[in-house]
């Protein structure tokens, strides 16, 4: 049985298109994969204290999530995301002992943002604070 040259070319073209489609999907998934843009440990004592961090939304990312893991202490805390002077998102809590707070996904268009974490109280607070962004694929 003899092979048809046109059939072989069509098979190669279809295989090449499939490989390129998979490669494009892998690149898109890698670019939009969730990543931490802010991460720091908090150790506040009696009184009030504030931590500021600037971050930029990575390309093709459009959502952010704030996670605060309190490992010990009791205090009032607030977290805020601002774009220029406009508050985009904020959360206020009175937490004690070991507690985890995780926001929903917050819609943020590309750009520069400021994240502020502040605490006040007669107690102390030790926590791990993270802001994670992700793109549409995830």
Residue 18 and residue 49 in one domain: no
Residue 97 and residue 116 in one domain: yes
pLDDT band with cut points at 50, 70 and 90 for residue 3: low
Residue 64 and residue 115 in one domain: yes
Task: Please check the confidence at residue 51 and state whether its pLDDT lies above 80.
Answer: yes
Q: What was the pLDDT predicted at 107? A: 94
How many distinct structural domains can be found in the chain?
2
In the chain, helix, strand, coil percent, each to 5? Answer: 20, 60, 20
Average pLDDT rounded to a whole number, residues 67-86: 91
Average pLDDT rounded to a whole number, residues 124-128: 88
Residue 20 and residue 47 in one domain: no
Residue 39 and residue 60 in one domain: yes
Residue 22 and residue 49 in one domain: no
Which H or E element spans position 70? strand 61-83
Task: Please check the confidence at residue 98 and state whether its pLDDT lies above 80.
Answer: no
CATH of the domain at 56: 2.60.120.260
Q: Which residues pair with 96 in a beta bridge?
A: 74
Residue 13 and residue 65 in one domain: no
What's the CA gap between 63 and 101, in Å, rounded? 17
What's the CA gap between 129 and 72, in Å, rounded? 13
pTM for this one?
0.81
Q: What was the pLDDT predicted at 45? A: 81
Residue 17 and residue 60 in one domain: no
Report phi then psi at 28, rounded to 5.
-60, -45
Q: What was the pLDDT predicted at 2? A: 59
Report phi then psi at 98, rounded to 5.
-90, 115
| Structural domain harbouring 8 | 1-32
Closest CA to 86 of 48, 114, 119: 114
The chain-wide mean pLDDT, for the chain, equals 90
50, two tokens: 């504030």
Could you give the 3-state DSSP secondary structure of residue 9?
Answer: helix
């Amino acid at each position: 049985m003899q092979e048809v040259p046109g059939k072989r070319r069509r098979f190669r073209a279809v295989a090449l298109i499939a490989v390129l489609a998979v490669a494009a999907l892998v690149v898109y998934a890698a670019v939009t994969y969730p990543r931490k843009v802010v991460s720091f440990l908090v150790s506040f004592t009696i009184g009030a204290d504030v931590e500021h961090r600037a971050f930029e939304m990575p390309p093709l990312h459009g959502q952010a999530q704030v996670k605060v893991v309190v490992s010990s202490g009791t205090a009032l805390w607030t977290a805020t995301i601002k774009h220029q002077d406009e508050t985009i998102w904020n959360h206020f809590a009175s937490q004690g002992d070991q507690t985890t707070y995780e926001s929903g996904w917050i819609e943020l268009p590309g750009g520069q943002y400021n994240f502020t974490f502040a605490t006040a109280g007669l107690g102390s607070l030790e926590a791990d604070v993270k802001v994670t962004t992700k793109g549409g694929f995830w």
